[in-house]
Chains A and B, each alone.
Chain A
C-alpha cells in the first residue's frame, strides 16, 4: 500500500486547504455524512480534526477539542479520542478512510473529558492507550465525577457508552513510539494545564501535537499549576517544529508563535492576582476583576476566566 499523500480527502478538508484561518473556523464544525470526522492532512501522513470552541453538549457530541492521527509504514497512532464514544467512532471512521493499517497507539494528552471520553471506541481496535504517568491517578480522582457531571450537559444517551479507560503504557520524562520508519517523541510535562500533560512530536514532518499546553482562540483553562505552566513555556517554545496542533484552536497553528496569546493571558492573570493578594483583597472579590482586560481576546472567556482566577489565587497565595 502506498504512503498517504498530501491531499484533502473530504469535502470540508478541501475547503480548509484553500482558505485562510478565518474560513476554517466557520467550516470546522461541519461533519461529513457517513459518520467520519472531517480531518485535514496537515503534513504527509499527519491528519487533524479541529474541534469547535464550545462547551461539551449533546448537540455537539463533545467535539470541542482538536484530535489527530499519524500514519507510519506499519501502524497508526491516534492523538486523543474525543469527547464521546460517538466522536471516537467517527475518528476511527476517518482513519479507516485513509488507511487500513492497524491502530497501534491511542495517546491521551491529558485527563480532560473532551480528550478521553472517546477512549472506549478504541477498545475493539486493540490500540494500546498511552498516557502521562500521572494520568491513571488523575482519572481515579475524577473519573466517576466526570461520568456523573457530564450526564447533565451531554445527556444520558450520549454518556451511556462512555467509560474511563486509563492508559496502560505510561510515560515518564520522554518516550519514543515507532510506527515503522516513523518515530514519535512523547514528552511528559511537569504540572501545567494539568498534572498529566503529554505532548507528541512527529519527527518526520516536524508536527507538534501540544495537547492543551497550547490554547488558541479558546481561553486556556487552569487545572494544574499556573506557575508550572508559565515556567515551562520556554522549554515548550524550544521544541523545533514546523507546525503545531494546539489542544484548542485553528489547525494547524504556527509554532512557536501559537504560544504567544496564552503567555500574554497568563502574565496578565498572574499580575492581577498577585496584586490582589498583596493588597489583601479576598479571593471572592479578586476573581471578579482579574484579567478582565483580556476579555475581548478569547472565546469562552466568561465561562472560564473566573475559574482560572480562582485556581490561580489559591496557588499564588503560597508564594
Chain B
C-alpha cells in the first residue's frame, strides 16, 4: 500500500496525526521561513501527503490568492481559481495546505464529474509565517501546485474561536446564498453560478491543553462535507482544523435550474448536519 492510498483511505486524519507527531519539525523550520521563504517544511511534508509522486508547477491550471499578511489569524481568506482545458482534462481534486500549521492539511476537495467548479474561496487559520499551497489533481492523475506566502498576524490575534459559547449554541446551522448571475438573458441549461455555503461550527483545533488535567482537549471539527445538486456531486471535502471556525465556502459551478442543492456534513464527534435549498431558475 502506498502512502498515497493510505492518505486516500484514511483521509485527512492520518495526515493530521502524522503532522501532530512531527510538530517539533515544523517549529524548527519556522525560523527559516520567517527570514526568507525557503519551503523547508514543505520539502519534508510533501512525501507524507503525496508520496513520491511528481508535482508539477500549476501552469495556470490552478491559482491561489491570499493576503500577504494574516490580519486575523483565525480567519484568513483564500481564493482558488481553476482553469482546465481539453488537454489537461477536468479537475478531480484539490488539496489545500498551510505548511507551518500544527495540522498542515486544511482540506481535500473532490469535484463532481460535470460540476464545472471554476472558483472556490474559503477561510483558513494561519498560525505562523507560512506558505499556503494548493495542489490540484487533473483527470490524467497529474499534480499541479501553486503557493503563496502569508505572514503571521501581528499583535494579539490568535487562531482560536472568538465566541465559543455562541459557536456551541448555534452548532450545525447552515446558510446558502446564491449570488445573482451577471449574465442576464442566458438560456443555457447549465452555467456558472456562484453560491456560498456557511456552516456554524467551532472547528476547534484540539491543540489546547486543559490546565487542570494537562490533557489535550479533543479536537472538534467538520471532517466531511458533501455538496450536491439533484443527484450529482458538486464537491466534497475532507476537512481538518486549519479551516476557520464557521466553515465558509464560496464557489462557482455549473448549476442546473430547478434542482435542490443539498448539503451533508459530519463532525469528529459523529454529529451529522443536513440541509437542502430549492434553486429556482429565476435565482440563477
Contact = CB atoms under 8 A, between A and B. Distances in A.
Interface of A: 55-56, 112-114, 134, 136-146, 148-149, 152-153, 166, 191, 194-195, 221, 223-225, 228, 280, 282-284, 287, 303-304, 306-307, 309-311, 314-315, 317-318
B277 to A, nearest CB: 16
B121 interface: yes
Given A145-B159, A221-B155, A314 B75 contact: yes
A304 B71 CA distance: 7
Interface string B59-80: 0000001010001101101010
A148 B27 CA distance: 9
Nearest to B212: A136
Q: Which 4 A-B pairs have the closest CB atoms?
A: A307-B71, A284-B77, A141-B160, A310-B72
Given A225-B163, A284-B67, A318-B200, A146 B156 contact: yes
24 contacts: A55-B155, A113-B156, A140-B208, A142-B158, A143-B209, A148-B27, A191-B162, A191-B165, A195-B165, A221-B156, A223-B156, A225-B163, A228-B163, A280-B177, A282-B121, A283-B75, A284-B67, A306-B67, A307-B71, A311-B72, A311-B75, A314-B244, A314-B246, A317-B198
A252 to B, nearest CB: 24
Contact of A55 (B65, B72, B79, B154): B154
A145 to B, nearest CB: 5
Interface residues of B, number: 47
A149 B152 contact: yes
A211 to B, nearest CB: 13
Nearest to A223: B162
B79 to A, nearest CB: 6
Given A223-B162, A282-B79, 20 more contacts: A112-B156, A134-B165, A140-B209, A146-B156, A149-B127, A149-B158, A152-B152, A191-B165, A195-B162, A224-B163, A282-B121, A283-B77, A284-B67, A284-B121, A307-B72, A309-B71, A314-B123, A318-B170, A318-B198, A318-B246
A72 B27 CA distance: 47
Contacts of B208: 140-141, 144
A195 B154 contact: no
Contact of B162 (A56, A144, A224): A224
A223 B157 contact: yes
A140 B213 CA distance: 12
A284 B160 CA distance: 20
